A and B are shown apart, each in its own frame.
Chain A
Amino acid sequence: MDIALIGRIIPVFVQAAWTTVQISLLSLVLGLAVAALIASLRLSHLAVLRFFGAAYVSVFRGTPALLQIFLLYFGGPQLGIQLEPFAAGAIALGLNIAAYMAESIRGGVLSVDRGQMEAARSLGFGEGQSMRWIVLPQAAKLMIRPLGVNAVALVKGTALVATISVVELTYTAQRFIGSTYKPFEIFAVTAVLYMIMVYGLTLVIDWLDRAYAEEA
């Protein structure tokens, strides 16, 4: 172990990890917003909307995230969409994770007993009101774990934007492995930073889950 090297590279790697955090947060917000939309399409009364929701999920889950990133970043200009690597990466990752998160949201809504909706309706709540005030608060609790699993996968998935030269953690690791000839020191530093992000996120999810459970 070359401790001096580790000390020297830490500032650069922390900087790179910060980029990973930023891209994760951006894709997470975009992913949740799109997922909510897709889940409501999938739960719609209209067959055509349900079809579009199901098609979105099927296409984005049926093809590699790497190709989705490449299609947007390299293929986008052919359609007049010109994006910086960072933006292309965040958008593609967000659209990708949205397909998985939509299923987590839908699963949560469907696990709430049907009687809850029926009771609310019979008490005079409208369809949307029942969803907003009766079903969703109960479903939210059931969604935390699955959405958390999606979010953890997203953080690790951000490594893929290294392939379109976004200078995040994995990209930086590859560059330093090539220039220092110290693969294990580099891997150790990189792994520790990923662990802090991944297991830190896991702690946040546990806390959210417990906070919600106590409230109920």
Chain B
Amino acid sequence: MQGLDFSIVPEYLPLIGKGLWWTVVISVVSALFSIVAGMGFALIVLYASPLVRYPVRLFMWLFMGTPLLLQLFLIYFGLVQIGIDIPALWSGIIGLSLHFAVYNADIFRAGIASLDKGQTEAARSLGFGAWQTRFYIVVPQALRNTVPAVGNMMIALLKESSIVSMIGIAELVHSAQLVISETYRPFEFYLTAAALYYVLNLILEAVLRGIERKVELSR
């Protein structure tokens, strides 16, 4: 038994901090992509022609039923074998974004379906076209009503972004692994990384509460 010694942690904090920064960057970028793509999927599933709709539904069904880690392996180790070489960082961001876009799409689809039909009818009778109505009337309201549910997804996304370390992206977990390979102190550094995720999580929850309050006020 090796015992614990946290005194060596501060020395490596700059390196860990770099990983922390990349975790924030990857999470924010993937969160934005997952919301935009999620709304795109939701609109396709609801309104597009069957030729587009069914492939997208099949894709959503596949991505909902399989683990993120498997999807990352497919994108990073798989696509390169058929000549599509995506760098690790982008593979990670694409994987995270698509994985959560599928869940967001489900939330948005339900959000749009639960809107009062009168909203669409009123807009159409005022002369808005079908897609104009969707973009200016339906989408903004659906976005507003789904803030809490999408927020929960973003909390999950932040934590699951740790999985992209497995394809070699130098985020928080990966930088902890680098330090551990030098110091042979797994417990200390994985615990440090976990504590940092915990703090990030608290910050994200506070931000989401702020957004929810703003949205409530705008009603």
Contact = CB atoms under 8 A, between A and B. Distances in A.
Interface of A: 59, 62-68, 70-71, 74-80, 156-160, 162-163, 169-170, 173-174, 177-178, 181-184, 186-187, 190-191, 194-195, 198-199
Contacts of B159: 63-65
SS class, residues of chain B in contact with chain A: helix
28 contacts: A62-B197, A62-B198, A64-B159, A64-B160, A64-B173, A64-B197, A68-B194, A70-B190, A74-B180, A74-B186, A77-B2, A78-B1, A156-B65, A159-B70, A170-B73, A173-B73, A174-B73, A177-B74, A177-B77, A177-B81, A182-B81, A183-B78, A183-B79, A186-B78, A187-B70, A191-B65, A191-B70, A195-B61
B70 A67 contact: no
Contacts of A163: 69, 166
B62 to A, nearest CB: 6
A75 to B, nearest CB: 3
Given A65-B159, A66-B173, A78-B2, 7 more contacts: A67-B197, A71-B190, A74-B187, A79-B187, A190-B70, A194-B67, A198-B65
SS class, residues of chain A in contact with chain B: helix
Contacts, number: 122
A191 B66 contact: yes
Contacts of B4: 78-79
B160 to A, nearest CB: 7
B67 A157 contact: yes
Contacts of B198: 59, 62-63
Interface residues of B, number: 40
Interface of B: 1-4, 61-62, 65-70, 73-74, 77-79, 81-82, 159-160, 162-163, 165-166, 173, 180, 185-188, 190-191, 193-195, 197-198, 201-202
A76 B191 CA distance: 12
A44 B69 CA distance: 38
A202 B70 CA distance: 21
Given A64-B162, A75-B186, A174-B73, A199 B2 contact: no
A70 B69 contact: no
Given A75-B186, A181-B81, A64 B73 contact: no
Contacts of B61: 195
Nearest to B166: A163
A191 B66 CA distance: 6
Of listed A64, A160, A184, residue having the most chain B CB within 10 A: A64
Contacts of A194: 65-67, 70
A55 B194 CA distance: 15
Contacts of A177: 73-74, 77-78, 81
